[in-house]
Structure 1
């Protein structure tokens, strides 16, 4: 996005822009910042950017993960783009235009909300990150299990609440050449969709020359407690 400058013809009058910035709702402060405000903060930033440059706002929104067939690639793109924080995601020219409005306070808040944190659960340390989703008012919680350095096992947990499915948890464990995936949902899947899911998973394992198994089951009583307890009738 570095080549897309915030050109003057996109910028409203200063008094109108200042009024809009002041009127944009701020997230409610939390006693402990656990990254739960990542979604609202990023949406506020994108709405403000839309006033400055709709083209840059569209490019930024296009980088957000969405719950569709491109989810994995979009998630990888967003994590790579935000490796250096919001400024790295937006690019220096766009970030500079936003910083002129409030001295960079909103960008700093977004950096803190998106930053990874560490949390012990059941005697194991997890690295947690919040990722806003384009088509949801919630965020995706990404958790990676931290091993002792002697194991070749990697465990990834994704927790979200897509509008059509409700709360969903996916746990993937890779150990050597074996990949085991457990998908837990608050609502059941049609038998045809379940069969397609298993077939797609088997095909993916074959393409990658991996062994493994896919398990699909109910969400209730299976939550890891990485963020807070979740049952089939409680949203993230």
Structure 2
């Protein structure tokens, strides 16, 4: 509206915003052995969204809206976030919002988020995995997503997800799809009630029937280290 255009947006000075949200120069990969492994993705993204909320609340709301959350919309939220971040952190929050944030620190925070969200590759027991760290709206450490890279031509795909939802605790899921078969293993730090377990199996079977594929669902406890893809969740928790 015309009246709105005549009123300049009141933005706190960059030094006050930096002091409030702890902006500091993000280390370049050569300065930190952990740079690029995504371990700081969650804190960096939360800091970016808090700053963006101060500068442009509407843009911040849109960015938060595409973050995956641990509820019935998780799959759709994850797909939306991965699609939105295909153009990097700037592509996710939009060019205008990125320009406003870059004006505060020369783009250091956005650059740090770019590195934290970037996929990396790791070899475990002779197999290469593509790892991505995805922030969750309702999780402390975000989601670790690992896709197994097969040697040579293959229609087999293995996906591992690991997260710590606040209500469930550590959760790990491994799904292997090959041809017309999908096998899923779900491991939880806490057990499920028998009614919830039965409903889970029923829902899984119905989904397979709808897709006209075969497969099994296995639900069990966590134990040991999970494929060595990430630091253990605790001394006695792993896949």
Both structures adopt the same fold (TM-score exceeding 0.5): yes
1:32 alignment counterpart:
34
SS at match of 2:145: strand
Distance in 2 separating the partners of 1:217 and 1:10:
53
1:16-40 CA-to-partner distances (Å, cap 9, x unmatched) read x421223323589653221110000
Distance in 2 separating the partners of 1:130 and 1:216:
24
Q: Map 1:61-210; keep pairs closer than 5 Å.
A: 61-210=64-213
Deviates more, 1:25-34 or 1:64-73: 25-34
Q: Which runs of 5+ in 2 are unaligned?
A: 1-5
2:3 alignment counterpart:
none
Q: Alignment length, in residue pairs?
A: 227
Distance 1:232 1:210, change over 3 A: farther
Q: Could you tell me whether the CA contact under 8 Å between 2:140 and 2:164 is conserved in 1?
A: no
Q: Map 1:12-27; keep pairs closer than 5 Å.
A: 12-14=11-13, 17-25=14-22
Distance 1:12 1:180, change over 3 A: same
Distance in 2 separating the partners of 1:182 and 1:205:
15
Matched, 1:56 2:55: no
In the TM superposition, what is the alpha-carbon distance from 1:229 to its structure 2 partner? Answer: 2.9
Q: Which runs of 5+ in 1 are unaligned?
A: 1-6
Q: Could you tell me whether the CA contact under 8 Å between 2:224 and 2:236 is conserved in 1?
A: no
Distance in 2 separating the partners of 1:222 and 1:166:
16
In the TM superposition, what is the alpha-carbon distance from 1:8 to its structure 2 partner? Answer: 6.9
Distance 1:68 1:166, change over 3 A: same
RMSD of aligned C-alpha atoms? 2.0
1:14-71 CA-to-partner distances (Å, cap 9, x unmatched) read 3xx4212233235896532211100000000000001101111111111100000000
**If the length of structure 2 is used for normalisation, what is the TM-score?**
0.89
Distance in 1 separating the partners of 2:194 and 2:95:
49
Q: Could you tell me whether the CA contact under 8 Å between 1:121 and 1:225 is conserved in 2?
A: yes
Q: Could you tell me whether the CA contact under 8 Å between 1:141 and 1:159 is conserved in 2?
A: yes
